[in-house]
Amino acid sequence: MNSMTRTLIYVVVAVVTLSLAIWNGMPSAEMNVNVAANVGEKFFPEFTDPTEATGVRVIVFDDETAVIKPFEVSRVGNEWRIPSHYDYPADGAEQLSKTASSLVGVERGAVAGESELDFARLGVVDPLADDKDSLKGRGDRLTLTKGNEALVDLIIGNKVPDKTDQYYVRKPDDKITYITNLKIDLTTKFGDWIE
C-alpha cells in the first residue's frame, strides 16, 4: 500500500468518524419540541386571583455563611403573623397583595437551560437542596400559599445580564430554566412587615 492510498483511507475514516459524532450529538426534534412547547405559557395558569394567597415564604441561601435564611408571613384567622420570627404580628395584607399581584400571569420566556448542569450557572439551584457540593448558584425560593396549598412555587435565579426585570426562573420540580419578566416588590426585611 503506497502513501497516497494510506492517506486517502485516513481521510475517509476521519470524515466518517466526524460525521457520526456530529449526527450522534445533535438533539432530536422530539426533545426540542417538548422544551419549546412551554415557552409563552404561564407558570401557574390556575393562579389568577392574588387575594387567594394567605401566606408567602421566601428561602434565601447566604453564600458566605452557607446558611439557609427563611422568611415567612401568613394569615392566621384575621391576623398576619411572621412564623419565621416567633409569630410576631405583621402588617402583611398590603405587602402580600403586591407580591401576589406581581406573580399572576408570569410566563415562561426563552429557554435558558435544559438540565441540572445549568442550575449553578443560572443561579437556580434550590436553596433547600441537600447537596453540600453545590453551595454556589443557589437561587431564592418564593412560595405563595393558601393554607397548606402552594399556589406559586418558583426558584428565582440570577438577573439576566443587560436586561431590565428579567431573571432565570424554574419550578422546583422542573429541570428546564426559563428567562422570565418579573417585577416583584418583595422585601424580606423584618421591619418592613411589622405593624
For the segment 49-103, what is each residue's pLDDT rounded down to a tens digit? Answer: 988 888 888 888 888 888 888 888 888 788 888 877 777 777 666 777 778 888 8
Alpha-carbon gap, residue 116 to 113, rounded angstroms? 8
29 and 100 both lie in a single domain = no
Alpha-carbon gap, residue 137 to 116, rounded angstroms? 11
124 and 158 both lie in a single domain = yes
Is residue 43 assigned to a domain?
A: no
DSSP state of 86: T
Is residue 44 assigned to a domain?
A: no
The 10s digit of each residue's pLDDT in 112-150 is: 999 899 999 999 999 988 876 667 889 999 999 998 899
Is residue 15 assigned to a domain?
A: yes
24 and 82 both lie in a single domain = no
Tell me the residue range of the domain where 163 lies: 50-193
104 and 182 both lie in a single domain = yes
Length of the chain: 195
Predicted confidence at residue 48, as pLDDT, reads 92
Number of domains in the chain: 2
Out of 23-32, 125-134, 148-157, give the one with best mean pLDDT. 148-157
Q: How many helices (H) and strands (E) does the chain have?
A: 5, 9
24 and 56 both lie in a single domain = no
152 and 93 both lie in a single domain = yes
Question: In terms of pTM, does the model score above 0.85?
Answer: no
Report whether pLDDT(151) > 90.
Answer: yes
56 and 32 both lie in a single domain = no
